[in-house]
Amino acid sequence: MGIVDNVLSDGLGGLSHNVITGRIEDLVKWARSRSSWPASFGLACCAIEMMATGAAHYDISRFGMEVFRASPRQADIMIVAGRVSQKMAPVLRQVYDQMMEPKWVISMGVCASSGGMFNNYAIVQGVDQIVPVDVYAPGCPPTPETLIHAIETLHGLIESGEIMRRRDLTGAGADIHVEEIPATSTPVLLGSS
């Protein structure tokens, strides 16, 4: 591996295998899927299994996810672990709204996915009534293996871009749009008078 003195004359080939070329989209997808930080949203017994997934034996940091963020603004994936009571529903939605795009939701356990055994007045019958869910993890509670499988599935979806395509088609999820803002005044030049 020699050091390239002049890229213009030697070309990128001179960098040998220090460089991987690829599309920027792929790079973004790869980065997103490998460092998706979860927002801890533990609500019931599933939260214990979620914590177990984060601990030594199952070691969620293998997937770049060990940083459970308490602030929704720093998180990418919301793992809804446990039954969502009617009182918690607005809070959950608020946390979801505060998360930065792109954001994903894993509904962990039957109670979060469909109300589970609690078909009654107190529990929201499926968290997908409140937030768009990307992956459902079954089980009562799901074992850490199940949760890891759900996370892997989500990573696969992120990497293939499947989730974004679906959102474009159905308009699900929060609205991402790029808006061109026309220059209205003379640009401010920095560093010169």
Q: Tell the smallest beta-carbon distance from residue 85 to other proteins (Å).
A: 6
Q: In terms of CB distance, is 4 or 89 closer to other proteins? A: 89
Q: Tell the smallest beta-carbon distance from residue 86 to other proteins (Å).
A: 6
| C-alpha separations of 93 from 11, 46, 98, 125 in Å | 51, 19, 9, 15
First to last CA, the chain: 44
Report the residue from 17, 23, 57, 62 that binds other proteins according to the rule CB under 8 A.
Answer: 57
| Three-class secondary structure of residue 179 per DSSP | coil
Q: In terms of CB distance, is 42 or 64 closer to other proteins? A: 42
Alpha-carbon distance of 101 to 89, in angstroms, equals 20
Report the residue from 16, 35, 71, 94 that binds other proteins according to the rule CB under 8 A.
Answer: 94
Non-local (6+) Cβ contacts of 73 within 8 A are 98, 99, 100
Handedness of CA 64, 70, 74, 80 (dihedral sign): positive
Alpha-carbon distance of 9 to 78, in angstroms, equals 49
Q: In terms of CB distance, is 120 or 184 closer to other proteins? A: 120
Over the Cα atoms of the chain, what is R_g?
Answer: 21
Q: Tell the smallest beta-carbon distance from residue 50 to other proteins (Å).
A: 12
Report the residue from 52, 64, 132, 153 that binds other proteins according to the rule CB under 8 A.
Answer: 52
Site string for other proteins, 110-129 (x = CB under 8 A): ---------xxxx-xx---x
Alpha-carbon distance of 46 to 135, in angstroms, equals 15
Alpha-carbon distance of 86 to 108, in angstroms, equals 17
Q: Tell the smallest beta-carbon distance from residue 95 to other proteins (Å).
A: 10
Q: Tell the smallest beta-carbon distance from residue 156 to other proteins (Å).
A: 26
The verdict on 61 binding other proteins (CB under 8 A) reads: no
Report the residue from 36, 49, 102, 151 that binds other proteins according to the rule CB under 8 A.
Answer: 49
Binding residues (CB under 8 A) for other proteins: these are 43-45, 48-49, 51-52, 55-57, 82, 85-90, 93-94, 97, 119-122, 124-125, 129-130, 140-141, 143
